[in-house]
Structure 1
Amino acid sequence: MQTVKQGDTVRVHYHGRLDNGTTFDSSEGRQPLEFTVGAGMVIAGFDNGVLNMKVGEKKTVHIPVHEAYGPKNQEMVLDFPKSNIPPDMKPEIGQELQMSNAEGQVFQVKVVGINEEFITLDANHPLAGEPLNFDIELVEIV
């Protein structure tokens, strides 16, 4: 029976959980995720996790931080002057906002702190710094 190798396009169902058991994503109720193994379409640990799987096989993989979204980068946590916020905007801790940089690229940030002068924004990926666990089922090798 054929097994997954680098360069194969595959379809998988998955259930992603943090170490504490909290689900952060799942393909349940959706079409299987399709990607090309080794093409950088998914995190490295997920790519590596499907290697050598056979169609119909199920397995659980633990992905360390460095093969997931990497460690939290403190340089991506910044204090933004409240004076630069539109007056009608009332940010709250935990709120997710979109910002753009000088090149016009849009990115998501999370409000993680508020004081008199600044709001503190975290531009790290929401799963940065987290080891991840995936239950994976190989549906098809395309």
Structure 2
Amino acid sequence: MSIKPNTVVSLTYELHTTNEEGQQVFVEKTDKENPLVFLYGTGMMLPKFEEHLAGLKVGDSYGFELSAADGYGEIDPGAFADLPVDMFKEAGLPAVGDVIPLQDNQGNHFRAGVTAIHEDVVNVDLNHPMAGKDLIFAGEILAVREATQEELAHGHAHGADGHSGH
């Protein structure tokens, strides 16, 4: 069976980006014991990531690069904020490089990277950590199966075998 909409895909991947010198930098990987399992074609994954996997079968290897625009987007210069130091009285001040959880007025949760700490404010970057970076993927397709009706109704995979997750 090949990868197409409404199939559950299990795969390994290794993800790299490139640094300013053009050298590949390792980000993360999955393996056969802990594969990435997802419902293909439902918008759970980056659209261009899925596009590159279309039609592949069990045992196929793949490798491709996504531009920043096709990944998590370019860095948005408007996605930086200054938070008052008073916000951190209870939890304590974070350190530069920390990723902190935040919540907006509508109750949406998101994360921000701390870029600087000053006397009155903490500067944070609200961009996705992978924004502005090209993504280089390589891996192997481990399994492809039809999604169950329950998975389709829920909009996500219930594990490689269709019975995990809930």
Question: What TM-score, normalized by structure 1, do the two folds share?
Answer: 0.88
Partner of 2:113: 110
After superposition, the Cα gap between the structure-2 partners of 1:34 and 1:88, relative to the gap in structure 1 and judged at 3 Å, is closer
**One-letter amino acid of the structure 2 residue matched with residue 4 of structure 1:** I
Q: Deviations over 1:118-141 (max 9, x none)?
A: 111112111011110111211111
Q: Is contact 2:85-2:93 (8 Å) kept?
A: no
**Which of these residues, 50, 54, 57, is aligned with residue 57 of structure 2?**
54
| Cα shift at 1:29 | 6.0
Equivalent residue letter for 1:58: S
Counting aligned pairs with the same residue, the percent is: 23
Query: In structure 2, how many angstroms separate the alpha carbons of the residues matched to 1:38 and 1:71?
Result: 24
What SS does the corresponding residue of 1:60 show, helix, strand or coil? strand
Match of 1:18 in 2: 17
Q: Which amino acid aligns with 1:46?
A: F
Comparing 69-78 with 81-90, greater Cα deviation is found at 81-90
Which stretch of the first structure deviates more once superposed, 32-41 or 20-29?
A: 20-29
Mean CA deviation greater in 77-86 or 54-63: 77-86
CA distance in 1, matches of 2:127, 2:11: 27
Q: How many residues align?
A: 141
TM-score, structure 2 as length reference: 0.76
CA apart distance, 1:31: 2.5
Alpha-carbon separation, structure 2, partners of 1:122 and 1:140: 38
Indicate yes or no: 2:83 matched with 1:84: no
Of residues 127, 133, 154, the one that matches 1:124 is 127
Give 1:88 shift: 6.1
> In 1, distance between residues paired with 2:79 and 2:15?
25
Distance 2:32 2:38 in 1: 18
Distance of aligned partners of 1:139 and 1:82 in 2 relative to their CA distance in 1, 3 Å threshold: same
Shift of 1:65: 1.1
| 10-19 or 84-93, which deviates more | 84-93
What are the Cα deviations for residues 82-115 of structure 1, in whole angstroms up to 9, with x where unaligned? 2333166122211111111112222111110122
Indicate the residue corresponding to 1:3 in structure 2. Answer: 2
Structure 1: gaps of 5 or more residues: none
Distance 1:88 1:31 in 2: 34
Segments of 4+ moved more than 3 angstroms: none
Q: Is contact 2:48-2:70 (8 Å) kept?
A: yes
Partner SS, residue 46 of structure 1: helix
| Worse overlay, 56-65 or 87-96 | 87-96
Q: Identify unmatched segments of 5+ residues in structure 2.
A: 146-166
- CA RMSD in angstroms comes to 1.8
